[in-house]
Amino acid sequence: MSGRWTSFNIASVVFGFAFLYLPIVLLIIYSFNESRLVTVWGGFSTKWYGELFRNQGLIDAAWVTIRVALLSATVATLLGTLAAVSLVRHSRFFGRTLFTGMVFAPLVMPEVITGLSLLLLFVAVDFARGFWTVTLAHITFSMCFVAVVVQSRLISFDRSLEEAAMDLGCPPFQTFMRITLPIIFPAVISGWMLAFTLSLDDLVIASFTSGPGATTLPMKIYSQVRLGVTPEINAVCTILIGLVTTGVIIAALVNKRRVVRESASRT
């Protein structure tokens, strides 16, 4: 689509982005507020950040969250990539409709249902709740997001490359490792990052499936948020936003450089 970029178009884009970004910007600004009263500006200060590092409960929760996110994102990426390959490369197998349904349904399934159902599964098989149950739950819902991301890349790439390799006698596994995987790799990486942040952010599913000693950061933040807005929580949130934003921007830049290099080598 093209045509003239009218002032109405510009206004709706500006309004839309202001709406999306203003709350986050305000939250970041107020994390540097000297005053304990979160809505009254009392001067610039970084004291709430210092306070965070003395809060052992918060640090423990952050550590649990990072371990869960690293492990679940990695397993989810493996499973999700396999699921994507099954969906795109194998047009017929037994129960394909059910499989497709199970890959897409978790994307929209309300979290309370996913959380409750997984918890009841763990209780039914008498599996001790804690770090591992949260990790298993996160793998399950984030692998579907990975599958969708990888799938779209698999659909768009030129299959004749794979066919050429196979025609020249390359076995299927080697073809996958040397041709397919390098091509879909950016999607696999963004799938991993998506799974990582989904796990990092999740409150509802973790609350259902977690047990003693496995309180995650969102659970900790939630229990404090219920008591009201505090500058410490603003500071935690700012750190999280900063980390995730930096990660996403670095990934985008790396990807861009790769694309530029590829197109340069082609000419």
Paired tokens of 102 = 């199970």
Site size with another protein, rule: CB under 8 A = 95
- Residue from 72, 135, 140, 180 binding another protein (CB under 8 A): 140
Helix (H) or strand (E) holding 261: helix 231-266
CA proximity to 139, closest of 157, 158, 114: 114
Burial class (CB in 10 A: 0-12, 13-18, 19+), 151: buried
Q: Which residues fall within 8 angstroms of residue 170, CB to CB, at 6 or more apart?
A: 178, 179
Site residues for another protein, 11-30, by CB under 8 A, read 11-13, 15-17, 19-21, 23-24, 26-27, 30
In the bound complex, what is the minimum distance in angstroms from residue 184's beta carbon to another protein? Answer: 14
- Residue from 59, 112, 181, 250 binding another protein (CB under 8 A): 112
What three-state secondary structure class fits 218?
helix
Does 257 bind another protein (CB under 8 A)? Our answer is no
In the bound complex, what is the minimum distance in angstroms from residue 104's beta carbon to another protein? Answer: 5
Residue whose token pair is 């080697």: 174
Does 90 bind another protein (CB under 8 A)? Our answer is yes
- Closest to another protein by CB, 67 vs 166, is 166
In the bound complex, what is the minimum distance in angstroms from residue 264's beta carbon to another protein? Answer: 18
- Closest to another protein by CB, 50 vs 172, is 172
**Cα distance between residue 79 and residue 73, in whole Å:** 10
Q: Which residues fall within 8 angstroms of residue 94, CB to CB, at 6 or more apart?
A: none
Does 99 bind another protein (CB under 8 A)? Our answer is yes
Tally of residues, the chain: 267
**Cα distance between residue 150 and residue 187, in whole Å:** 5
Site residues for another protein, 58-87, by CB under 8 A, read 79-80, 82-83, 85-87
**Cα distance between residue 76 and residue 193, in whole Å:** 11
Site residues for another protein, 197-256, by CB under 8 A, read 197, 200-201, 203-204, 207-208, 218, 221-222, 225-226, 229, 233-234, 237, 240-241, 244-245, 248, 252
- Residue from 59, 105, 128, 164 binding another protein (CB under 8 A): 105
- Residue from 35, 42, 47, 156 binding another protein (CB under 8 A): 156
Stretch touching another protein by CB under 8 A, among 51-59, 66-74, 132-140, 181-189: 132-140
CA within 13 Å, CB half, 179: 19
- Residue from 155, 161, 164, 260 binding another protein (CB under 8 A): 155
Stretch touching another protein by CB under 8 A, among 45-53, 56-64, 108-116, 178-186: 108-116
Q: Which residues fall within 8 angstroms of residue 4, CB to CB, at 6 or more apart?
A: none
- Closest to another protein by CB, 125 vs 264, is 125
Strands (E), 72-128: none
